[in-house]
Structure 1
Amino acid sequence: MLLDTVEHETGPNPEWCVLWLHGLGADGHDFAPIVPELVRRDWPALRFVFPHAPVRAVTINGGARMRAWYDIRDFDLAHRADLDGVDASVAQVDALIEREASRGVPPQRLLLAGFSQGGAITLAAGLARSQPLAGLIALSTYLPMPLALAQQRAQPAAAAQPLFMAHGTFDPVVPVAAGEAGVQALRSLGFEATWHRYPMQHQVCAEEIADLGDWMAARFAAG
């Protein structure tokens, strides 16, 4: 069963898709307002797809039920992610990517983006891609598995996907060191990663949106 989504098209007959995953406790509406801030006039028509994560119990929040891509079991990043939940969400993301292909946007013209927990799913899904996407965008996040497991799961073609990662230096939720460890791990697997740090907390900022826009423009120009 496909996840419910919020969608916004910047023009008729979109040639590209940006599939954007929200963070813990948010929903698909959370990043919809970024569209007018991010999109540039000379870009091709885009379809932004913002899925709603399933509702599930989250251990670190006392078992409260909320939208989450996986259970967070521990504050320790090394043991934080429920990998069964990660795998289930990756499968749901793959189903949305397949749907876009059926709507005329193949994987090579789809950018997969995510913030925080959504960014962790973006990285996990990106590692497992045997058919590369146009690019991966992971904001204020971390690699939700040890490097050894990432090495086992990484498909040979996955490292062909350009990667944009960014983080706030004052992030109290996901320490910037976790983001840096993730980008270093992915580089060791062959990914070409663009890495930015900004003087902010667990959020996005105008400078980050501008840098992301430049990176996306390069992806569109590359075709």
Structure 2
Amino acid sequence: MLETLEHVTRPDPTWSVVWLHGLGADGHDFAPIVPELVRPEWPGIRFVFPHAPVRPVTVNNGTPMRAWYDLLGFDIASRQDAPGIRASIAEVERLIAREGERGIDPGRILLAGFSQGGAVALATGLRRQRALAGVVALSTYLPLADSAATEATAAGRGTPVFMAHGSQDPVVGERLGLLSRDALRDLGVDVAWHSYPMAHQVCMEEIQALGDWMQVRFAG
């Protein structure tokens, strides 16, 4: 089981959010977003921020760092570490299963991620046998896109997705995010898309929009 950082908004939470960080970061990276995001009327939520394994990353000259999978080249959409991505999907599934053991049904779990973490979140949500409440994919893309149509489940296609991207992102270009959005929509996925005049980052307007989207999930 991956090591995690956890934050509970109130005792006996009835929802969980599993949030995957980006390349080279760790679970602490998005923990500060909790007070900015959470609203007083929301149910109790357990935020789970896992730390990705440390591994050599090819594009960074083999330097070991926390990464959900290796990056084999700067063309991230065509040269993909498929075994690494699938191994991280399995690790995330273990975290989701643990939430189930703690009494949180998949229908009350949101899977979120930024950049590389968002890619794993999308790949995981699309292939699940039981639908999650939703997937949040920030400044990212859909990996393993060539196999998505054959591997996507009915539950995965029915899971709503929130995607947000910076129009000036130099790391994961917005064009790749748009192509991923369209690929998901072609599979029948309900994708809420948001674009902001920013780089590879998160902004307050984005957090507000995400909060609005999450509130709809909680109300359902």
Structure 2 distance, partners of 1:119, 1:194, is: 15
The counterpart of 1:205, out of the listed 203, 206, 216, is: 203
Percent of residue pairs identical: 61
CA distance in 2, matches of 1:22, 1:201: 17
The size of the alignment, in residue pairs, is 220
Shift of 1:188: 0.3
Counterpart pick for 2:149 among 148, 151, 161? 151
Matched, 1:132 2:138: no
C-alpha separation in 2, matches of 1:138 and 1:149: 19
Structure 1 match to 2:217: 219
3-state SS of paired residue (2:129):
coil
- The runs of at least 4 consecutive aligned structure 1 residues that moved more than 3 Å come to none
Separation (CA, whole Å) in 2 of partners of 1:78 and 1:205:
25
One-letter amino acid of the structure 1 residue matched with residue 30 of structure 2 = F
TM-superposed deviation, 1:130: 1.0
Deviations 1:160-179 (A, max 9, x none): 11100000000000000000
SS of equivalent residue, structure 1 residue 17: strand
Counterpart Cα distance in 1 of 2:2 and 2:79:
24
Task: Tell me what 1:195 maps to.
Answer: 193
Report the alpha carbon displacement of residue 78 of structure 1 after superposing the two structures with TM.
2.7
1:2-21 correspondence runs (5 A): 2-21=1-20
Distance in 1 separating the partners of 2:151 and 2:205: 33
Secondary structure, aligned partner of 1:157: helix
- For residue 173 of structure 1, the aligned residue among 147, 166, 171 is 171
Distance in 1 separating the partners of 2:155 and 2:103:
22
Once residues 153 and 77 of structure 1 are traced to their aligned partners in structure 2, the CA distance between those partners, rounded to angstroms, is 20
- The equivalent residue for 1:30 is 29
Contact 1:80-1:144 within 8 A present in 2 as well: no
Letter in structure 2 aligned against 1:48: F
What do residues 101-125 of structure 1 show as CA deviations (whole Å, max 9, x unaligned)? 0001110000000000000000110
- What runs of 5+ residues in structure 1 fail to find an aligned partner? none
1:105 counterpart = 2:95:
no
Q: CA deviation at 1:81?
A: 2.4
Q: State the secondary structure of the residue aligned to 2:154.
A: coil
The one-letter amino acid of 2:153's match is Q
Measured in 2, the distance between the counterparts of 1:95 and 1:138 equals 20
SS at match of 1:70: coil
RMSD: 0.7
